[in-house]
Amino acid sequence: MSTSQSSTLKIGIVGFGSFGQFLAKTMIKQGHNLTATSRTDYSNSCLQLGIQFFRDVRMFIEANNDVILICTSILSFSEVLRSMPLACLKRQTTLFVDVLSVKEHPRDLLLQVLPEESDILCTHPMFGPDSGKNGWKDLTFMYDKVRIRDEATCSSFLHIFAEEGCKMLQMSCEEHDKIAAKSQFITHTIGRTLAEMNIESTTIDTKGFQTLTQLKETTMRDSFDLYSGLFIHNRFATQEVWN
């Protein structure tokens, strides 16, 4: 992918929790114009960042965004997407982007629910507010161009992450979920198992045990909803459990 093509985008964020805000700060730094909507009132946070916040989803949809970036949880994605008044879209080819940690699930829903003329880009930034707090250089950004007609808008959006030094990885949603089931899901499962065992650091920790306690602490910073979503909405995760 060429990283030279870039233009200022109007990006609307759906779900302005910690991850949405994390992405928004870099997008604003790069000069993009942002709007946001969320079930929680983030109007004060948006005001501080210079983002227009809409409590009314219809007004958000009518705001003529180039890109609608959905930053909800895995478990709420379907409900949020289906509740959008998509008939109110002003642009013919709005680019819809998801950032979920599973990929076949949002891909299938976006293809099912969105108007035929809407573009679809499924992505997974392999980092978050903790791992990306000192910048995104050399952090992996996975993406799949599921249905793209407006290549310029798609390229400009991907350029946001390429410009920050991300490792840009184009991969199918199916392949992503196969690999994630053997890596991310297993990591979360082991971390939560260690938490249930109540392991704690001791004065005679080996390096191996320190690694395990760090894994437990890192895993438990993520919500149980994320773990549930990784299992429920990745068909390959169940195969890992029963193999």
Encode pLDDT of 120-145 as tens digits.
999 999 999 989 999 999 999 999 99
Output the CA torsion sign for 165, 214, 22, 143. Answer: positive
Same domain, 61 and 122: yes
The C-alpha atoms of residue 69 and residue 24 are separated, in whole angstroms, by 10
- Sorted by sequence, the CB contacts under 8 Å of residue 209 that are 6+ apart come out as 199, 201, 202
In a domain, 106, yes or no: yes
- State the average pLDDT over residues 177-182: 89
The C-alpha atoms of residue 147 and residue 56 are separated, in whole angstroms, by 28
Same domain, 155 and 54: yes
Q: Which of 152, 172, 192 is the last residue of a domain?
A: 172
Same domain, 119 and 225: no
In a domain, 160, yes or no: yes
Strand, helix or coil for residue 58: helix
Same domain, 26 and 133: yes
In a domain, 213, yes or no: yes
Question: 83: domain CATH number?
Answer: 3.40.50.720
Q: Which of 172, 189, 205 is the last residue of a domain?
A: 172
Same domain, 39 and 110: yes
In a domain, 3, yes or no: no
Q: Which of 119, 144, 172 is the last residue of a domain?
A: 172
Strand, helix or coil for residue 229: helix
Structure tokens at 189: 């499962």
Same domain, 30 and 150: yes
Degrees to nearest 5, angle at CA 165 with 164 and 168:
110
In a domain, 97, yes or no: yes
What element of type H or E holds 194? helix 184-196
The C-alpha atoms of residue 95 and residue 72 are separated, in whole angstroms, by 17
Q: Look at 242 and 115; give whichever has higher pLDDT.
A: 115
* pTM score of the predicted model: 0.86
The C-alpha atoms of residue 8 and residue 27 are separated, in whole angstroms, by 10
Q: How confident is the model at residue 219 (pLDDT cuts 50, 70, 90)?
A: confident
Same domain, 22 and 93: yes
Q: Give residue 226's pLDDT.
A: 66
In a domain, 203, yes or no: yes
Q: Put the strands of the sheet holding 33-37 in their side by side order.
A: 52-54, 33-37, 10-14, 67-70, 95-98, 119-125, 140-147, 167-170
Residue 47 belongs to domain spanning = 10-172
Least confident piece of the model among 31-35, 171-175, 233-237, 238-242: 238-242
Same domain, 193 and 166: no
In a domain, 195, yes or no: yes
Give the amino acid at 154.
Answer: C
Same domain, 138 and 153: yes
Name which of 241, 215, 222, 189 is nearest 74 in CA terms: 222
Structure tokens at 180: 């994630």
Q: Give residue 87's pLDDT.
A: 94
What element of type H or E holds 34? strand 33-37
Name which of 80, 32, 31 is nearest 60 in CA terms: 80
Cα 164 from chain centroid (whole Å): 16
Q: Which residues pair with 93 in a beta bridge?
A: none
Name which of 176, 167, 178, 120 is nearest 141 in CA terms: 167
Same domain, 201 and 143: no
pLDDT digits (tens, 9 = 90+) for 190-216: 887 888 999 999 998 999 999 999 888
In a domain, 137, yes or no: yes
Q: How many domains, in total, are found in the chain?
A: 2
Same domain, 130 and 108: yes
Same domain, 185 and 144: no
